[in-house]
Structure 1
């Protein structure tokens, strides 16, 4: 007989404490909170944020700075200490029902969720490190462009065909190459 495993108290507390984050974000001016969430949750570049919110890039950067300052304000920071404490081993923040409701209500996913460059479907971004919320080091590396490896491969093959080259490499046997791939003797 298998027993269902109960989540330990720390896991339950972590999910419950994200409710505080949604409450704190609701106390902030909506434009500041929207820019902050777009940057942190969806890794949206400032240019995209400015375009979607119909403001200038300079204004979007200003709203991001004001949003971070608002999060650091003592009235909000005291509430956030349990959520954004110094947990070295657990750096991802879970999104609970209240935070999801906030994201849906403000239509953040429609505006900022990354879309696959091949099929245009939205896909989820990587997990967000907690220091990114405080303006620290955020996600590193190049952002994803495709929802899956299959879409990445299809896009690669389409680019190769559009350029008149075979999707195969130069080390393939000559019979698999197109006439444009063969070099004329000098």
Structure 2
């Protein structure tokens, strides 16, 4: 997959801005995943750790991957992935990924994906600004390609959000549960989570 240096620079700068917005991120992390009181007490420490990765001279890929790990542990996901479009918005590739212990990486397998292959869930993300699939196996017949795509990665539950650069969707942040089904609860915190990625296109 070819991504211009300018595109990569823009996406990284957006991530940096987001992670340094401490007050907004604190709100997201506290309520976005229905955290227990114990976990809420550790939120500020987590925010500091993520923010510090994007200060000064850094390795952007290392900083992003470490941050995906933090978000994965917080959300209870088994795999957190970032997918970016090519410049024509027709092809998606998995650019960054974190996997929990014992979970197989899919990054090398998920390159140069025709958006039509998974257009069912992409369309819903674009329309609703999220897609929440508690049980992949129950997807309707008109989502067969999406169902087959997810089941080929052993995904049981899926949560996806668009990544924006200004007003343009440049990719998606995806949270997958492989070991078991999970219900990510929709509510105020859930929509804070949507907003977390709403202007993140420059960060990746």
The alignment's TM-score, normalised by the length of structure 2, stands at 0.26
Decide which structure has the larger Cα Rg and report it.
1
Higher helix share: 1
Q: Which has the higher contact order (CA 8 A, sep 6+)?
A: 2
Given the two structures, how large is their TM-score scaled by the length of structure 1?
0.28
More strand by share: 2
